[in-house]
Amino acid sequence: MNAPFPESPSPAPQGEPLHLLIAAPRGFCAGVDRAIEIVERALARYGAPVYVRHEIVHNKYVVDGLRAKGAVFVEELDEVPDGAPVIFSAHGVPKSVPAEATARGLDWLDATCPLVSKVHRQAERQIEAGRHILFIGHRGHPEVIGTLGQVPEGSVTLVETEEDVARLDFAPGTDLAFLTQTTLSVDDTASIIAALKARYPEINAPRAEDICYATSNRQAAVKAIAGDCELVLVIGAPNSSNSLRLVEVAQRCGARAQLIQRADEIDPAWLTDIGTLGLTAGASAPEELVREVVALIATIRPIREETVVTTEEKMVFKLPRQLMD
C-alpha cells in the first residue's frame, strides 16, 4: 500500500528576520524547583490526593500539571479533609496555619521557599529585640500575609510606597526595623528604604538584602535587553509578583512590555512592525512555555534568536527532611 501523501507544510514566514533577545537568567528559581519537587515526591509517597494550600507557585500550567497527577489545590486549611496530607505553597503561610494543621493531626509539608522563611525568622528576631517592624511589600500578596502572620498583630506596619513612608507617624527615637517581601522591584525598594532612612536614621536594617537572588537577577537580565527592544514579552501570571516587576522594569527602560501566560495570547500584530523583541519569564514560569512562545513567534516572522546572559545561577535548596529518604 502506498504511504499517505504527506500534508504540505505551512509556508515558512517571509521577510526581515525579527531579532529575538532572550534574557538569562529567566524562569524557574531554586525555590520553585523545590516546591514543585515537594508536591511530586509527596504524590509518590502518599498517593493521590495530596492537598496543596494555595497555588504551589503562581503559574496555571504548573498547577494544572500537578492537578492532573492528583494534587488538589485549596485556599484554606478547612477545605482539607481530616487525614489527608497537605503542602503549604512556596510563598509561605502565617504561623496559625501549621499550628492548625498540627492541632488537626494533619500530615503537613512546608514548601515555603527557604529565602521567605529567612525573612520570617528575621521578623521574629526583631520583635524579640523589642522593635516595631516596617514591612515593605504589596498588601494582600500571600507572602506578605504569611510574613505578617509570624509576629503578633500590631507589631508590624505595611509600607507599600514612598507616600506611605511620608504618612508614618512614629515618634523620633522609636525602635524600628524594616524588612521586605522577596519579590519586589529592586529600584523601587531602594527608594522606599532611602525614604525610611531619611525619616528614621536609626532604623534597623536587615543584615542581608531580603529581595531574593532570583528576583534581582531576573530584573538585571531584563534591564540588559529592554533598552534594545521595542517590545518585551514576559511570561508569567497576573498574580505573580516577581513577573509583574519584570514588566515594570522593561517599561522603565523605554520598551513596551506585555505579560503573557501562554503563546496563544500573542497577537501577531504586535510583531509586524518591530525589529527587536525581548523575551523573559518570571520565576514560576517553566522553560517549556518559553520554547512554546519562541515556536509560535517563528510561525509569524523569521527569527534571529540571541540569548543575553547577565549571570549564572547555581542555587539549589534542600528538600524537607521528611522527603529526603
- 143 part of the active site: yes
Select from 72-80, 172-180, 198-206, 282-290 the region that touches ligand 0CG (CB under 6 A).
282-290
Residue type, 235: I
Print burial letters for 139-176: b (CB count within 10 Å at least 16), e (below 16). eebbbbbbbbbbbeeeebebbbeeebbeeeeeeeeeeb
Cβ closer to ligand 0CG: 217 or 243?
Answer: 243
Residue type, 143: E
137's grid cell: 511589600
113 binds ligand 0CG, rule: CB under 6 A: yes
Q: Count Cβ atoms within 10 A of the Cβ of residue 54 and give its class: 0-12 exposed, 13-18 middle, 19 or more buried.
A: buried
Q: Which of residues 181-200 bind ligand SF4 (CB under 6 A)?
A: 182-183
Which of 149, 278, 282, 286 is the binder for ligand 0CG (CB under 6 A)?
282
Q: Count Cβ atoms within 10 A of the Cβ of residue 5 and give its class: 0-12 exposed, 13-18 middle, 19 or more buried.
A: exposed
Check the annotation: does 120 bind a ligand.
no
- Name the residue whose CB lies closest to ligand SF4: 31
- Name the residue whose CB lies closest to ligand 0CG: 240
29 binds ligand SF4, rule: CB under 6 A: yes
One symbol per residue from 199 to 218: x for binding ligand SF4 (CB under 6 A), - otherwise; what is it? Answer: -------------x-xx---
Q: Cell 502572620 sits at which residue?
A: 149
Do the beta carbons of residue 235 and residue 225 sit within 8 Å? no
Q: Which of residues 269-288 bind ligand SF4 (CB under 6 A)?
A: 283
Check the annotation: does 10 bind a ligand.
no
32 binds ligand SF4, rule: CB under 6 A: yes
CA dihedral 239, 242, 243, 244 (to 10 degrees): 70
- 240 interface partner picked from ligand SF4, ligand 0CG, none, CB below 5 to 8 A per type: ligand 0CG
Do the beta carbons of residue 139 and residue 182 sit within 8 Å? no
Do the beta carbons of residue 251 and residue 219 sit within 8 Å? no
- 58 interface partner picked from ligand 0CG, ligand SF4, none, CB below 5 to 8 A per type: ligand 0CG
Do the beta carbons of residue 112 and residue 86 sit within 8 Å? no
Annotated binding site: 29, 58, 91, 113, 141, 182, 212, 240-242, 284
Residues annotated as catalytic (active site), given as ranges: 143
Binding site for ligand 0CG (CB under 6 A): 31-32, 57-58, 90-91, 113, 143, 183, 240-243, 282-284
Residues that bind ligand SF4 (CB under 6 A): 29-32, 90, 113, 115-116, 182-183, 212, 214-215, 242, 283
